[in-house]
Chains A and B, each alone.
Chain A
Amino acid sequence: MKTKCIHKDLIFYLDNELSFDKRTAVEKHLEECADCRSFLAFLQEGMQIIEKEKNTEISPFFYTRLSARLNENPEHQAQSQWARLSQPAFFLLLLFIGIYSGLKLGRNASTTKENNQATSVQMLNDFAAEPIESFLLDEL
């Protein structure tokens, strides 16, 4: 009878993190199950990548480059930092100016409207001051 695959235990088996009993059971299962053996090999190959990467050679000029960066003029660094900070500050300022002038323009526009209303009211008042009858009589 085919037993159930134990894929979930294999990464821990590979890292030797299973109890003795569990490990024995996994080994027994691996003898019978080709699919689990194949997945174990797949996992092993994957984990070997880490081993290969661990042995990566470091550039022989590592310290030379680091030393050059350390020698960089601190004034220049401060300047570049200032430039980095000034850019967002400038855009923020621009945004505030935009918002402020927008509000100002909006306020002016509403004031002009009120003035227009006042003028038309005044005109109406002028008209009321001189009734149509007197106007027509003057023409005669």
Chain B
Amino acid sequence: MDEAQLIKGIQQGDRKSFQILVETYQRMVVNTCLGIVHNKADAEDLAQDVFLEIFRTAENFRGDSKISTWLYRIATNRSLNFVRNNKRKRFFQSIEDTFTGGRNRNSEISENRGDQPDRNITDQQRSDLLHRAIDRLPEKQRAAFTLNKYEELSYQQIAEIMEISLASVESLIHRAKKNLQEQLLDCYKKKCV
């Protein structure tokens, strides 16, 4: 079944076509979300939201771009929104913590780590360090870097997904790497891992 038939099927509400679409692209969408949110459960929830949006708005798909481009675009936007909302929640949480002694935040962190019990401490620290560095990148740099690193997409594909020029993608990824390098160097000098 080619892309056009798949989309036509979904537009007509055919569940079989939708299942084929999900099974074909689920890894790609989860990986993209994971690159931005850094938590497997959240990434899977977001990926499900992406597919639900696809199913419910399939009639709006004009077929100008590939399905994967459409999926990447929705996945990136939803993940960035999720991170933004999380930041806002964390801000209010920190205010609450000042009054309650910070018990809630600690339990949340231990819950997040609970899904990878076999990872050793250094791996976890290294992973946290990299995630923190990626999280500090400006949104556009983060999206471009994630699509390039986690999905190994070419600059041309990233330009199509983000609807920007090729030169902008090059610049975004260059600046993202430079920023990451600076943050990691800072940590290396302070010996935080």
Contact = CB atoms under 8 A, between A and B. Distances in A.
B51 A49 contact: no
B56 to A, nearest CB: 9
B22 A53 contact: no
Given A65-B48, A70-B18, 11 more contacts: A39-B188, A45-B126, A46-B184, A49-B126, A49-B130, A58-B26, A62-B30, A62-B48, A66-B52, A69-B48, A70-B52
B115 to A, nearest CB: 10
B184 A62 contact: no
Nearest to A48: B126
Interface of B: 15, 18-19, 22-23, 26-27, 30-31, 34-35, 40, 44, 47-48, 51-52, 55, 123, 126-127, 129-130, 149-150, 177-178, 180-181, 184-185, 188, 193
B158 to A, nearest CB: 15
A7 to B, nearest CB: 5
Contact of A46 (B40, B47, B130): B130
A47 B48 CA distance: 27
A63 B126 contact: no
A50 interface: yes
A50 B31 contact: no
A36 B141 CA distance: 26
A46 B30 contact: no
A90 B51 CA distance: 33
B26 A53 contact: no
Nearest to B44: A59
Interface in A70-113: 70
Contacts of B180: 11
A58 B130 contact: no
A66 B45 CA distance: 9
A20 B59 CA distance: 50
Given A49-B126, A50-B150, A62 B26 contact: yes
Interface of A: 7-8, 10-12, 15, 38-39, 42-43, 45-47, 49-50, 53-54, 56, 58-59, 62-63, 65-67, 69-70
B35 A53 contact: yes
Contacts, number: 74
Given A39-B188, A66-B22, A58 B150 contact: no
Contact of A58 (B27, B184, B185): B27
B55 A70 contact: yes
In this complex, the member of B15, B52, B185 whose beta carbon has the largest number of chain A beta carbons within 10 angstroms is B185
B181 to A, nearest CB: 4
Contacts of B127: 49, 53
Contacts of A69: 48, 52
A29 to B, nearest CB: 16
Nearest to A7: B185
B31 A54 contact: yes
Nearest to B56: A70
B130 A50 contact: yes
Contacts of A66: 22, 48, 51-52
A11 B188 CA distance: 14
